[in-house]
Structure 1
Amino acid sequence: MIMSKPLQDATLSVGYIAKRAGVKVSTLHFYETKGLIRSWRNQGNQRRYKPDVLRRIAVIKAAQHMGVTLQDIKETLDALPDNRTPTKKDWANLSHRWRAQLTKQIEYLEQIRDKVDGCIGCGCLSMTQCPMYNPDDVCGKSQSGAAFLPSNPDAQANHEKTDKIDKNH
């Protein structure tokens, strides 16, 4: 009788990991280039993964679903000892780290939601209805665009972080 290795000792192909994780093979390659997951090549030059990479990918996908940037995910996962796969306790700590960021995003979206019905903030279509922000359309004379909509301070920071990670890899 032939016995198979326990799953913990197995190495898994890129195709198997992609199927089990519900992502494309190209996504796995992308995650590797960003330093989020690791693989190695066997003697046949095939990319191989440890089974615990599935949990790591699940954490990445869950964090992305919450709106966390890949750079923030990477920084948080890098803080784990020996680049290990997150445990349930680790997930509680990881998600807690992202809580403040998510709260800011929610507050920003609530601001936009509350203003979207009354003013588009552009200074051109609200001349008669927006005397507080733009009396007599004075901003329309000096600038165009959505001058009065609240800006997301984290959006620029996240954009800069994304640029940083792209330049480092």
Structure 2
Amino acid sequence: MRELSVGEVARRSGVAVSALHFYERKGLIHSLRTAGNQRRYAGDVLRRIAVIRVAQRVGIPLDAVRDALASLPEGRTPSPDDWAELSGRWREDLDQRIAQLTSLRDRLGDCIGCGCLSISACALANPGDALASQGPGARRWIGP
């Protein structure tokens, strides 16, 4: 298999060289080193980067992406079947986020223009002052 330079990978993947170095430090991709200590990547790194970028775009944390990719046998690049399994792991989290955003969207209109700015009375941010029972600190829009 032909090895690609970091510049070639950056150009073909649309990812900055600095991002490739970051992905490598995070254990998402790996490179080989030449005798001159230059990075070289196997061609299949492009698919791995595509998986990483799609996961990032939908809000999957890089640690979760790394763990998912590390679960593949022998660290291989994800096949379509692998992608189906990996993305299935994230489905519940994505469904919860979609539900939160849908609720926010649907309830947001109730507050536009009211100007109450009341943390204890706001029907959107703190209905019935329910947050008081959870103790001090930032509680709004943060999951349990």
Give the TM-score taking structure 2 as reference length: 0.81
Counterpart-to-counterpart distance in 2, 1:30 and 1:84:
20
Matches within 5 A, 1:89-108: 89-108=81-100
SS at match of 1:153: coil
1:123 touches 1:146 (CA, 8 Å); kept in 2? no
Q: What is the alpha-carbon distance in structure 1 between the residues aligned to residue 19 and residue 97 of structure 2? A: 26
Does residue 1:15 correspond to 2:10, yes or no? no
Query: Which 5+ residue runs of structure 2 have no aligned equivalent?
Result: none
Letter in 2 for 1:74: R
Q: Which amino acid aligns with 2:17?
A: V
Residue 133 of structure 1 aligns to a residue in which SS?
A: helix
| Residue in structure 1 matching 2:118, options 114, 119, 123 | 123
Counterparts of 1:122 and 1:93, CA distance in 2? 44
| C-alpha separation in 2, matches of 1:88 and 1:111 | 33
**Match for residue 142 of structure 2?**
152
Same amino acid, percent of matched pairs:
48
Structure 1 residue 133 and structure 2 residue 125: aligned? no
Q: Could you say what the CA RMSD is over the residues aligned between the two structures, in angstroms?
A: 2.6
Higher relative contact order (CA 8 A, sep 6+): 1
Deviations 1:50-71 (A, max 9, x none): 0000000000001111111101
- What secondary structure, in the 3-state scheme, does the structure 2 residue paired with 1:35 have? coil
In the alignment, the residues of structure 2 paired with residue 83 and residue 123 of structure 1 have an alpha-carbon distance, to the nearest angstrom, of 52
Could you tell me which runs of 5 or more consecutive residues in structure 1 were left unpaired when the two chains were aligned: 1-8, 155-169
Contact 1:38 1:49 in 2 (8 A): yes
2:106 counterpart SS class: helix
Q: Structure 1 residues 44 and 109, CA, compared in 2 at 3 Å: closer, same or farther?
A: same
| Length-normalised TM-score, structure 1 | 0.69
Instruction: Give the number of equivalent residue pairs.
Output: 132
Query: Retained in 2: the 8 A contact 1:108–1:152?
Result: no
